[in-house]
């Protein structure tokens, strides 16, 4: 397997114009890590630097502790699946699959058996004698995937491999990819612009924008605990409702209209001297209420989108276009009342998350210097935390017998220390 460390990596094609900036990240053995973000955010450039197809302008790329900045792609023991398949048009499926074994010193019969075995796993056995132009888009993608997997390398990079497929085939193919990832116990780094694909496949997601990492986390963390406004808006199956807020003395306002909010939030915003920012709430956290009250907001129906068991109601309220997710059978009048739940997020003017309680210190009791533990500690630092080593009231206890995390209302025993990252927010 492969443990990859990117340390303060920059990439520039023109002087002082960086397309990747100050990127630090650990990618752990056996992890399925997904790089996601809008076009031009730097995710494919990052993938190509790991592959050796792009040089690093500054910083270090390390694999198992060895610096790989100057290593040729052929020396990196990895496979790459391209977006455009890159199949050899005059080779059969069998020849395309076996092409990845050309550099291997292997008996011809053993090579043929490996090709046939993988072809069966990918549903290509009956297509081995065909040429790429005789295959469907999904079959071509399977061949491209098979060619990358055939040499059984433990690090595989995917550059938007499913973007050319139709929606149903993408769902089928991502299931196959995850199955192969688990069976072959490989480390996978996957680039996509599709947030649904990222949430469905990733152990951890890295969201990038304008060359920097906005947040790293599990799909659950990215959806339920966004640390940046763009993460809140990008991650999720439906568009997030975003409203500007203002603080006018003791009054909290949404789009310049008074809105009742807990006093704890009023005090927090005053302490931080925040006078304006952004309020986001997901479509499934808005309620349609039957009667008008002092908490409700009048709304006017615009149009409806249907999604099987649910439908998305688009409406006008507070002078803005918003949406709410309801059950398929729910009836909505042309004019109705809504209420916002308490599951909203606040962000400041620089798009950073505002929390009621903030702590950047992690106290660790450590009795081991195992390299895998130290790499997780480095990743905790990459997340933005300050590490304090102290045996008195630690948040994390690491010894030969157990790994435990205790903080506020959370108290868990972990199987692996890297699992601690699923409990820590990215606050950098």
Q: What is the CATH number of the domain that holds 278?
A: 2.40.50.100
CA pair distance 411, 409, nearest whole angstrom: 7
Q: Is residue 427 part of a domain?
A: no
Q: Is the pLDDT of residue 377 over 90?
A: yes
For the entire predicted model, the pTM comes to 0.93
Are residue 250 and residue 265 in the same domain, yes or no?
yes
Burial bucket for residue 332 (CB in 10 Å: 0-12, 13-18, 19+): middle
Are residue 222 and residue 341 in the same domain, yes or no?
no
Residue that has been written with the tokens 């807990």 in this structure:
262
**Of the residues 326, 354, 382, which one is the last residue of a structural domain?**
354
Which among 216, 199, 228 has a CA at the least distance from the CA of 376? 216
Full residue range of the structural domain in which residue 394 is found? 361-422
Q: Is residue 428 part of a domain?
A: no
**Of the residues 336, 354, 372, which one is the last residue of a structural domain?**
354
**CA of 259: how far to CAs of 56, 95, 279, 295, in Å?**
49, 66, 11, 8
Contact 27, 33 (CB under 8 A): yes
Are residue 218 and residue 188 in the same domain, yes or no?
yes
For 120-131, write each residue's pLDDT tens digit: 888 899 999 999
For 293-304, write each residue's pLDDT tens digit: 888 999 999 999
For 147-157, write each residue's pLDDT tens digit: 888 888 889 99
Are residue 367 and residue 396 in the same domain, yes or no?
yes
Are residue 213 and residue 245 in the same domain, yes or no?
no
Q: Is the pLDDT of residue 99 over 90?
A: no
CA angle 353, 355, 357 (to 5 degrees): 150
Report pLDDT for 122.
84
């Amino acid at each position: 397997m492969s443990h990859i460390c990117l340390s303060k990596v920059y990439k520039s094609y023109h002087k002082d114009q960086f397309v990747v900036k100050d990127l630090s990240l650990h990618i752990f053995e056996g992890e399925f890590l997904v790089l996601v973000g809008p076009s031009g955010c730097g995710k494919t450039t990052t993938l190509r630097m790991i592959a050796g197809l792009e040089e690093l302008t500054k910083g270090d790329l390390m694999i198992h502790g060895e610096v790989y900045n100057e290593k040729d792609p052929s020396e990196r023991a990895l496979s790459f699946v391209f977006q455009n398949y890159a199949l050899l048009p005059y080779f059969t499926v069998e020849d395309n699959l076996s092409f990845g074994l050309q550099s291997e010193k292997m008996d011809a019969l053993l090579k043929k058996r490996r090709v046939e075995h993988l072809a069966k796993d990918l549903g290509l056995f009956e297509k081995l004698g065909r040429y790429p132009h005789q295959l469907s888009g999904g079959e071509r993608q399977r061949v491209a995937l098979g060619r990358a997997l055939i040499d059984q390398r433990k690090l595989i990079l995917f550059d938007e491999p499913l973007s050319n497929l139709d929606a149903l085939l993408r769902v089928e193919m991502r299931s196959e990819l995850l199955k192969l990832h688990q069976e072959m116990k490989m480390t996978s780094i996957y680039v996509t612009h599709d947030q649904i694909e990222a949430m469905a496949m990733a152990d951890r997601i890295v969201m990038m924008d304008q060359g920097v990492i906005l947040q790293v986390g599990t799909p659950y963390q990215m959806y339920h605990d966004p640390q940046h406004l763009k993460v809140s808006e990008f991650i999720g199956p439906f568009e997030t409702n975003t409203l500007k807020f203002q603080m006018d003395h003791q009054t909290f306002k949404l789009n310049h209209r008074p809105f009742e909010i807990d006093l704890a939030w009023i005090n927090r915003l005053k302490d931080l001297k925040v006078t304006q920012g952004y309020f986001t709430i997901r479509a499934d956290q808005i309620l349609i209420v039957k009667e008008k009250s002092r908490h409700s907001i009048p709304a006017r129906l615009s149009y409806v989108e249907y999604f099987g068991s649910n439908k998305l109601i688009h409406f006008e309220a507070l002078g803005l276009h918003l949406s709410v997710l309801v059950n398929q059978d729910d009836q909505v009048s042309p004019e109705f009342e809504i209420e916002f739940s308490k599951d909203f997020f606040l962000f400041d003017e620089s798009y950073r998350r505002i929390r009621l309680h903030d702590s950047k210190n992690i106290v660790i009791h450590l009795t081991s210097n195992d390299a895998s533990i130290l790499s997780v500690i480095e990743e905790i630092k990459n997340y933005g935390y300050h590490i304090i080593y102290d045996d008195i009231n630690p948040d994390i206890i690491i010894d030969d017998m157990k790994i435990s995390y205790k903080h506020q209302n959370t108290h868990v025993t972990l199987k692996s220390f890297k699992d601690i990252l699923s409990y820590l927010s990215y606050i950098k």
